[in-house]
Structure 1
Amino acid sequence: MSEQTHSAKQVIVISGVNLTEGGPLSILKDAANNFVTHFISGYILVLLVNKKSLLDDICFDPRVEIQEYKYPKRSWLLRLWFEYIHCWFISRKIKPFIWLALHDMTPNVKCANRIVYCHNPAPFYKPGLREILLEKSLLFFKLFYGLFYYININKNKFVIVQQEWIRREFEYRYKIKNTIVSYPNVQMDVDKSESVYSAGRSFCFLYPSLPRVFKNFEVLLAAAEILKKSKYNFEIILTFDGSENKYASMLRKKYAHLSCIKFTGIQKRNELINLYNIASCIVFASRMETWGLPISEAKLFNKPILVADLQYAHETVGDYDKACFFDAGDAVALASLMENAMNGSLQYHKPCYTKPLQPFVQSWKELYELILSDKSQGNIDAGYKLSTIYDA
């Protein structure tokens, strides 16, 4: 990128060096894309990311700089160094008006307007011993992530969360009153692309998620055990193949005898769209979420949803009228709902949804309008130069 000088323009930093896959990566892409689409003309945008290639689907304005920082992903000690030491020097150099941190931790930066986006529910979840043994990082997140949230949190102009229940948790635990509830504005191409699967296939349940222990795939697989001797011809598609981690490998081995289970591996965006197109019903059994992206995607495709009866799920389902809720630990109840879905007798549950209190926004555009509305603070750049990509 050639060097350009932009006098009297404010610098906006969006930091997402730890966001590399799944829903968190979607947050980074949506945040960057929406700013470029609606607000770039009046600002200089600097993106701090793990790899530039993760954003190759976004067409950037020449006034955008992407800086690569790969090392924070290698270990937690390096992540802490980046957030609390390295970011200070970055901020001293570029003098940002706003520093928007998209990965939960409030960095140590020289900036009048710090904003943190918090989307990891681990501090509010109580993992069982079996979950910890299968995914040891859960214990670390449970014990220490609340502390990472706490450090510098009172230095933020805004703390952004995705749901009202998380706002209440943050306000209670961290004694803050500057939270914004910002619903993800989920977008997907809902075109009926040609399926790679044959027409007239069996009833298809889809659970599209990465294999993490709190995703609770066991309740769905146990329900499949219950239904395997039924008269119904069905299949369950899971978007992993067993090679991803210890938990995925365990599930694949334990349920290898169930011919109705299809392990597809992690899907690209266009492949996932194809799976939504062919799915008869979406299942989402996760015990821990701040949103639950597949729920929103299922709504876009107007699919029936069988979803865990937890507070995050009710808020994400909202007023959608094609959802049924089940106890996240009750495979029998889920099997019953699945049977009803297959025989056409599924009775959807009445939506139970209360709109969040203000401040509340429902898109990145609305969020940026809110956080950019007060220009009384911050540094006016007097000639920051866009540089070539910095690969650390």
Structure 2
Amino acid sequence: MQRHMHNSTIMIQINIMIVLKYMMIHNTMINPRDILMEPIQLMDNRHEKSCLLIRKGDLMTKKTVVVSGINLFQGGTLRVYYNFCDEIIQSGLHKQYHFILFVHKKELFEKYNDYFEILELPKSRKSWFIRMYYEYIYFKKYSKDKDIYLWISIHDSSPRVHAKHQISYFHNPTFSYKAGYRDFKYNKKVFIFSFIYKYVYKWNVKANDFVIVQQDWIARSMSKLLDFDLNKIIVMRADHKIEKSEKKLEKLKPYTFFFPSVSRHFKNFEIICEAVKLLNQKINPSLYQVILTIDGSEDKYAKDILNAYGNLENIDFCGLLPLDEVYDYYQKSSCLIFPSKLETWGLPISEAKEFDLPMIVADLDYAHETVGIYDKVCFFDPDNAAMLANLMNKAIHNEPIFNSASYVNTSPNSCTSWKEVFDKFE
């Protein structure tokens, strides 16, 4: 047992050193002295005095909960942090506990100033070296002389801290991703992290009372990977609230396929383009159109897609759309295609369901679980353009390809709210 733990520690150190070496080569590291000099700032100095006066009284009766999410600054992961804050306020937990939030940028959390003590670490995203310093050195020093009831790490790590209880929330499914040449070509960090994330996840994970993930398949995969009790992995699906417009829009003509996504190489835009290329050889291209939310300006991957497939007349490379326009396209489109190979939760799938949109979805674990119970879906091999082209052809000609799906969560430990998570400690 001791030899196994020693070997695991060595592997973690080796892989961390590989990342640090890569960062040194690419000038992504900064002087560690700069970190030590970085002040922790309260959310808003104008409110500092009043907030602290209130909290001095609170500390006599309230237990302290610290939440660390210093790596979250945009997109779906930041939304998870916001959802956490919103739910804590709505449930009244902020009145029962004294919350201290560690964040990357204080201006991102201004709306929560009246509810939480908010501390800023703006250099936390300068490099992975700095991130690791905060997680495994700084937070331990910070928590040493404090009576912390619960520490929640809300971004893929298990920091070393002094706290009665500890929880880590894991978003990133990269540990299960099989990286290849394309990953190295378009995103070297994803390539490297696909190999080291399993070791980063293992680091100090046993210090957690519970680990939280968004899907059942991630829970089971992580239990095996980390040798962590499945009963201590909580499956808590993200709350995806969709505010639909009241307006009613007509379907576009001709038959319209829609794939809304940012430009990431694992989003697999090219499989749709290859399918269109094949299908255009069999049927008249005027019978259908495909709308993709990239335009070639985003990054090298998007540029390569446009260079290779920009001549396909029935693909509209429209670029990134505002959310309200995405919702309009859900109404106006005939079918969603979702070919992504790597997701924590395929949000467009959940959104498309709200609009009762038929969908052709990658035959992967995350997709089956995200689809859940739905009666207008079919699955395809995300590496098989010919299969996708065949399904698209049948959909265009109104052939019966869409079936019912029913995914049943088998996780032994599920929660529907943060209130339920907190109740586990009472």
For normalisation by structure 2, the TM-score amounts to: 0.80
Aligned residues: 368
Identity of aligned pairs, percent?
35
1:327 offset after TM fit, Å?
A: 0.7
1:13 aligns with 2:61: no
The aligned counterpart of 1:23 is 76
The aligned counterpart of 1:34 is 87
Aligned counterparts of 1:108 and 1:295: Cα–Cα separation in 2? 37
TM alignment of 1:1-392, pairs within 5 A = 1=47, 2-3=50-51, 4-5=54-55, 6-7=58-59, 8-38=61-91, 39-55=93-109, 59-60=111-112, 62-92=114-144, 95-177=147-229, 178-193=232-247, 200-228=252-280, 230-231=283-284, 232-361=286-415, 363=416, 365=417, 367-375=418-426
Aligned counterparts of 1:305 and 1:82: Cα–Cα separation in 2? 43
Q: In 2 relative to 1, CA 21–254 (structure 1 residues): closer, same or farther, beyond 3 Å?
A: farther
Aligned counterparts of 1:335 and 1:105: Cα–Cα separation in 2? 41
Structure 1 letter corresponding to 2:420: E
Does the CA contact (< 8 Å) of 1:14 and 1:32 recur in 2?
A: no
Where 1:159 maps in the other structure, the secondary structure is strand
Where 2:403 maps in the other structure, the secondary structure is coil
* 1:308-358 deviation line (CA, Å, top 9, x unaligned): 111221111111111110011111111222222223224223325232222
Q: Which residues of structure 2 form unaligned runs of 5+? A: 1-46
* Higher radius of gyration, 1 or 2: 2
Does the CA contact (< 8 Å) of 2:153 and 2:169 recur in 1?
A: yes
Aligned counterparts of 1:274 and 1:94: Cα–Cα separation in 2? 50
Q: Which has the higher helix share?
A: 2
Where 1:71 maps in the other structure, the secondary structure is coil
Does the CA contact (< 8 Å) of 1:282 and 1:303 recur in 2?
A: yes
1:151 offset after TM fit, Å?
A: 0.6
Q: Which residues of structure 1 form unaligned runs of 5+? A: 376-392
1:80 offset after TM fit, Å?
A: 1.0
Aligned counterparts of 2:421 and 2:343: Cα–Cα separation in 1? 25
Does the CA contact (< 8 Å) of 1:44 and 1:63 recur in 2?
A: no
Aligned counterparts of 2:108 and 2:155: Cα–Cα separation in 1? 16
Q: In 2 relative to 1, CA 333–118 (structure 1 residues): closer, same or farther, beyond 3 Å?
A: same
Q: In 2 relative to 1, CA 63–25 (structure 1 residues): closer, same or farther, beyond 3 Å?
A: closer
Structure 2 letter corresponding to 1:281: C
1:155 offset after TM fit, Å?
A: 0.2
Root-mean-square deviation (CA, aligned residues, Å) is 2.3
* 1:276-329 deviation line (CA, Å, top 9, x unaligned): 333322111111223222211211222111101112211111111111100111
